[in-house]
Amino acid sequence: MKRRTFIKDLAWGSLVVSLRPWSWAQSATPGSPIAVVQGDSPGQLVTTAVNLLGGMSKFISRGDVVVVKPNIGWDRTPKQAACTNPEVVATVVKLALEAGAKEVKVLDNPCNPARRTYARSGIAKAAKAAGAKVLFPNPHRLKKVSIHGEWLKEWEVYTEFIETDKIINVPIAKHHSLSRLTMGMKNWLGALGGNRNQLHQKLDQAMVDLAAFFKPTLTILDGYRILWRNGPQGGRLSDVKLAKTVIAGQDYVAVDALGAGLFEIKPEELGFLRLAYQNKQGEIHREKMNIVEKKI
């Protein structure tokens, strides 16, 4: 019944934010560990990273409905590194189910036609095989909700991302000419409907507002193949670098800050990280983070 009442609340409007069940249950805990794992198998990187954080059962409770949000934005193959690595997504799904999740949903609102991006990224097939429910964005599930952001006050959001117990953000690390990099915080644009391209007029602020709104249980950044230039979709294999890294943690700001390191960019150089830090949403200074590193 929880879901149904919740939807009713949505319809009634402004109760939305106050009733989000996860909003008090999960918040980016400052000082929580951040796992940085390097190795050859994308799936194993995820498993190891999650284990370093204490295992998936630390984040997912038995019976939870979990939404996994990869980047399935582009009609590109995994080697082109425009979408999250399918093995990474599948492993996250598998771990969540093993931790007792009742249901794992995988979805994204892509830039290219969904039927193509879901198939050609390899994500739909891999996630389905791992036991997830892979969903195309459903326009009937769009609701205008209060974002309560500094700049973004309200926007249309796919309600799958709100009416869920837990949410795991699984972005890929890529170049982007406006925000310089797109990782976890930028990934939330894929949970939106509406004319989201207008968000580019104040993109850094939009990213920070959205990250604070969605507040993922866990962020697992796919840095296996990273898109070095011509982002966010690249195209040529020479745009891609093999970084063989996965960065995971509850502090989504710290995850993005460490992700910037893959591109040899200092976190302070990135507008959205500076804003998020000022807003006390998370840590950007490496020396103040509790980093657990491992090479496999």
Partner 1 sequence: MSRKKSKTYRFLQLARIISQLLFFSLFFILLLQTRFPGEDYIGNVEIFFHFDPLIGLTSFLASHLIFSAFLFSIITLVLTLLLGRVFCGWICPFGAIQQFFSFLFKKLKWLKIKSQDTFSPKAWKYYLLVFLLSAALLGLNLVGFFDPFSLLYRSFVTSLLPALAFIFSAFLTLTYQLHLFALGDTLVQFSENLGVNTIFLQALGLGLIFIGIALLNLKKERFWCRYLCPLGALLGLFARWNRLKLHLDEDKCIQCGLCTLQCETDAIPYPQEKWAITECVYCFTCGAICPTSAITFPFILRPQPAAMVDLSRRKLLATTLLGALAVPFFRLSPSRVRASAKRIRPPGALPEEQFLQKCVKCGECMKVCPTNGLQPALTEAGPEGVWTPILVPRIGHCEYYCTLCSQVCPTGAIQPLRVEDKATVKIGTAWVDKNRCIPWKIGEPCLVCEEHCPVSPKAIQLVETTVQLPDGSTTTQRAPFVELERCTGCGICENKCPVVDSPAIYVTSVGESRSATNQVLLQSGRGESSPY
Binding site for partner 1 (CB under 8 A): 4, 7, 75-76, 111-116, 119-120, 135-136, 138-141, 176-178, 195, 197-198, 200-203, 229-230, 232-237, 239
Q: 187 or 250, CB closer to partner 1?
A: 187
3-state helix, strand, coil in the chain (%, to 5): 40, 25, 35
Which helix (H) or strand (E) covers residue 251, if one does?
A: none
Query: Max alpha carbon distance in the chain (Å)?
Result: 51
Q: Which residues are registered as beta bridge partners of 176?
A: 180
Q: 75 or 108, CB closer to partner 1?
A: 75
Which helix (H) or strand (E) covers residue 218, if one does?
A: strand 218-227
Specify whether the CB–CB gap between 247 and 49 falls below 8 A. yes
CA 251-73-207 angle, 5° bins? 40
Q: 54 or 139, CB closer to partner 1?
A: 139
Q: How far is the CB of 136 from partner 1 (least distance, A)?
A: 4
Q: 48 or 71, CB closer to partner 1?
A: 71
Helices (H), 26-182: 42-52, 86-98, 114-120, 123-129
Q: How far is the CB of 230 from partner 1 (least distance, A)?
A: 4
Q: How far is the CB of 81 from partner 1 (least distance, A)?
A: 12
Alpha carbon of residue 253 to chain centroid? 11
Q: How far is the CB of 175 from partner 1 (least distance, A)?
A: 11
Residue in 41, 46, 53 with CA at minimum distance from that of residue 93:
46
Give the separation between CA 75 and CA 117, rounded to whole angstroms: 4
Q: 49 or 67, CB closer to partner 1?
A: 67
Q: What is the DSSP letter of 133?
A: E
Q: How far is the CB of 149 from partner 1 (least distance, A)?
A: 18
Q: How far is the CB of 38 from partner 1 (least distance, A)?
A: 27
Q: 54 or 113, CB closer to partner 1?
A: 113
